[in-house]
Chain A
Amino acid sequence: MLTSHLVRLVGQNLRRNRKNLAFASVGIVVGISSFVFFIALGAGVQRVVSTQIFPMEANRLQVVPRSIEFGSATGGRPIDEQALSDFAAIPGVAAVYPRMRLAFLASTAVDGRDLSPAAVDLLRRVPGVTARMLEAVRDVRVWLEIMGDGIDPRLAAADAVAGEFADPPEGEPIPVLLSRRMIEIYNGSFAEARGLPKVSEMLLPFLPPLPLTLNHSFISREVRGAPAPARMKVVGLSRHALMGGITMPLETARRLNRRFAGEAAAHTYSSAVLEVTSSDWLGPVQERLRGLGFDLDMSEKRMAESVGMFITLVTLGFSLISLIIVGIAAVSIAHTFFMILYERKREIGLLRALGASKGDVRNLILAEASAIGLTAGTAGLLLGALACLLSDTLLARFLPDFPFKPESFFAFPVWIFPGALAFALIFCWLGALLPARRAAALDPAATLTGR
């Protein structure tokens, strides 16, 4: 049978059984739409995890000094200037971004009452900041021990939105970056509970410099020398920033370390981020680093992987349920086809008399199933996408803010479109396979006489 003939005959037949078939394919539509929904949800959550919670950079490695183990022959080596040039010399390494921990103690004491009226006035202009929030700000009293890192400004230049991220002249406030993840948690739970304004990139320009006392601790008695008052200005949020502390330009950290902890501290780094020219180099570079006596910090990566694995498993579970729905739908497709077959027995006999071969009859039924599969699959896709859209709208409106609450909970991997259609097709075929074989095997002479 010519394909063009098959297509036209299928069209004729489907038009007649529209109702029955629409009813039978409801299951396929429901199954495919829930499949699309759950896959998109899983992919959406995964995207939040991999871009916001544990941002992974495929081409970067974090090198740390080797932790000292008992029984290990090779001792740890500090990351000093020599080590940095060793890293840069490794084939495949495109850039080295050193990171320096502050080697002295620091603290801050923030009192909301110290805010100048001008500063309060400025804050009042920020959209979303209410008078009640400002009241709460005035009541803030915070004494904090401060941890600090200095990072290569190239790593975070784009994150500085409220000022320049560079070593400031003497007497100017130190520009610092805060961890995006820390701020997410503050916004989602702390600010919410205390009635404080949320910190966003929009708020930062309106935030006054905050006090910072260098070489001082509320707790430790090991501080020698006099405390040095300074100020810090939050210029941006960055995922390269220290999770529980402040992150300043590398040169500032070096300068302060030299001043408060000595010359050696100004040339000793806590870690370094290495950028490789392509991810193919990751393996060889890791090998080389271990050979040089350093370790790689994989904790972020491992955490991301295990969270990712969990999400994948949950998604898989729900997708499986969807596929079971589709599978059950296939049974109902089979049932409907058997029913139609029973009604159409005589008609199949007639088609055989007019020249249809066994293969033609089988192909006709399978082609009808394909048409149903494609239609129901497309409907399922659309319905699923619609459900995602609706859920996003509802979640955005009714779900309270929480850390890392994303704009959209859904993402659509490209394979989902052909994939969902393929599933619908395959299950419709499976459902139609037996009826098609049965139809092809009908004895035309017997069916024509109504036996």
Chain B
Amino acid sequence: MIRLRNLSRVYGQGPSATAALRDICLEIPEGAFATVVGTSGSGKTTLLNILGGLDSGYLGEAQVAGRELRALTDRERSAYRNETVGFVFQHFALLEHLTALQNVALPAFFANAREPAPERRAAEVLARVGLGERLHSYPGQLSGGQKQRVAIARALYRRPRLILADEPTGNLDTATGAQIISLFEELNREDQITVVVVTHEDFLFKNVTCKVRLEDGRQVEGAPC
């Protein structure tokens, strides 16, 4: 599913240049459940952004689902983000002026084909994450855990093969975080979605098949190539 070879990412130029990632080599098979751990500033988010096709300013190779991401045009990469990847963020990134249903259906706007029943699909995925009762609530009316469920539903909306979650439990208390983690594990197990989670609490995960530890942009743990 994911194949990285000598992946490096350098921000800036000259003496002020910082290497966020250095020579990462990694393979994550289809259906895997991967965690990425590391201290703050070690390059975790940078890695996720590259995998998600949000950042193509890297060196080396980054192949996901058989495609080298840097070789895609902006449109193709956008379609890739829309169809293949589902993002989940620490801060939920919900739009406050939209209901849960509308937030979840946002990816439909960027689909190349019309979703026959966008609201029905949104309700379906909201039910999947256990929010079938809160379709018309606004983010302001939801708890942190519920918000993150809406965000996960949004990530599921386009039936992705890969979910990239950046510290999804970072803003939640331990109990709620544990529920979110088991939701990811459930999606991985039942829907065969490959999951990559950046986390500080990898001890909470039970079914991790692939561990990546970064330190100062370098990979210090995980299957090297």
A: which residues have CB within 8 A of B?
Answer: 1-2, 4-6, 8-9, 12, 15-16, 346-347, 350-360, 443-445, 448-449
The SS class assigned to the B binding surface is helix
The 7 closest A-B pairs by CB, nearest first: A355-B82, A355-B110, A357-B78, A445-B49, A445-B55, A445-B54, A5-B109
Chain B interface size, as a band, is: 20 to 34
User: With a CB–CB cut-off of 8 A, which chain B residues contact A449?
Assistant: 45
B154 interface hit (Cβ, 8 Å): yes
Contact among B55, B77, B97, B106 with A354 in the assembled complex (CB-CB below 8 Å):
B106
Contact among B52, B109, B114, B158 with A353 in the assembled complex (CB-CB below 8 Å):
B52
Most interface-central of A351, A355, A448 (chain B CB within 10 A): A355
Q: 24 A-B Cβ contacts within 8 A?
A: A1-B110, A2-B112, A4-B114, A5-B111, A9-B109, A12-B97, A12-B102, A351-B106, A352-B78, A352-B81, A353-B52, A353-B93, A354-B87, A354-B154, A355-B107, A355-B111, A356-B78, A357-B75, A358-B78, A359-B74, A360-B78, A445-B55, A448-B89, A449-B45
* B54 and A353 form a contact (CB under 8 A): yes
CB interface residues, B 1-57, toward A, < 8 Å: 45-46, 49, 52, 54-55
Distance in angstroms between the alpha carbons of A95 and B89 in the assembled complex? 86
Q: Which A-chain residue is minimally distant from B89 (CB atoms)?
A: A448
User: With a CB–CB cut-off of 8 A, which chain B residues contact A351?
Assistant: 106, 110
User: With a CB–CB cut-off of 8 A, which chain A residues contact B112?
Assistant: 2
A311 to chain B, nearest CB (A): 50
Q: Which B-chain residue is minimally distant from A17 (CB atoms)?
A: B97
Distance in angstroms between the alpha carbons of A359 and B74 in the assembled complex? 9
* B75 and A354 form a contact (CB under 8 A): no
* B107 and A448 form a contact (CB under 8 A): no
User: With a CB–CB cut-off of 8 A, which chain A residues contact B111?
Assistant: 2, 5, 355
A279 to chain B, nearest CB (A): 54
Distance in angstroms between the alpha carbons of A398 and B158 in the assembled complex? 68
Known: A359-B75, A448-B93. A354 touches B110 (CB 8 A): yes
Distance in angstroms between the alpha carbons of A55 and B13 in the assembled complex? 76
Could you count the A-B residue pairs with CB atoms below 8 Å apart for me: how many are there? 76
* B93 and A357 form a contact (CB under 8 A): no
A29 to chain B, nearest CB (A): 25
Q: Which A-chain residue is minimally distant from B155 (CB atoms)?
A: A354
B214 interface hit (Cβ, 8 Å): no
A324 to chain B, nearest CB (A): 35
Known: A351-B106, A355-B107, A355-B111. A444 touches B74 (CB 8 A): no
Known: A355-B78, A355-B83, A449-B45. A5 touches B108 (CB 8 A): yes
User: With a CB–CB cut-off of 8 A, which chain B residues contact A356?
Assistant: 78, 109-110
Contact among B79, B98, B114 with A355 in the assembled complex (CB-CB below 8 Å):
B79
Contact among B55, B97, B114 with A16 in the assembled complex (CB-CB below 8 Å):
B97
User: With a CB–CB cut-off of 8 A, which chain B residues contact A6?
Assistant: 109
B95 interface hit (Cβ, 8 Å): yes
User: With a CB–CB cut-off of 8 A, which chain A residues contact B46?
Assistant: 445
Distance in angstroms between the alpha carbons of A2 and B79 in the assembled complex? 13
Contact among A2, A350, A354 with B114 in the assembled complex (CB-CB below 8 Å):
A2
Q: Which B-chain residue is minimally distant from A450 (CB atoms)?
A: B91
A140 to chain B, nearest CB (A): 78
Give 18 new A-B contacts, CB below 8 A, not counting A2-B111, A445-B49, A448-B89. A1-B110, A2-B114, A5-B108, A5-B110, A5-B111, A350-B93, A352-B78, A353-B81, A354-B87, A354-B107, A354-B109, A355-B81, A355-B82, A356-B78, A356-B109, A356-B110, A357-B75, A357-B78
User: With a CB–CB cut-off of 8 A, which chain A residues contact B114?
Assistant: 2, 4-5
User: With a CB–CB cut-off of 8 A, which chain B residues contact A346?
Assistant: 93
A159 to chain B, nearest CB (A): 66
A11 to chain B, nearest CB (A): 11
Distance in angstroms between the alpha carbons of A2 and B46 in the assembled complex? 31
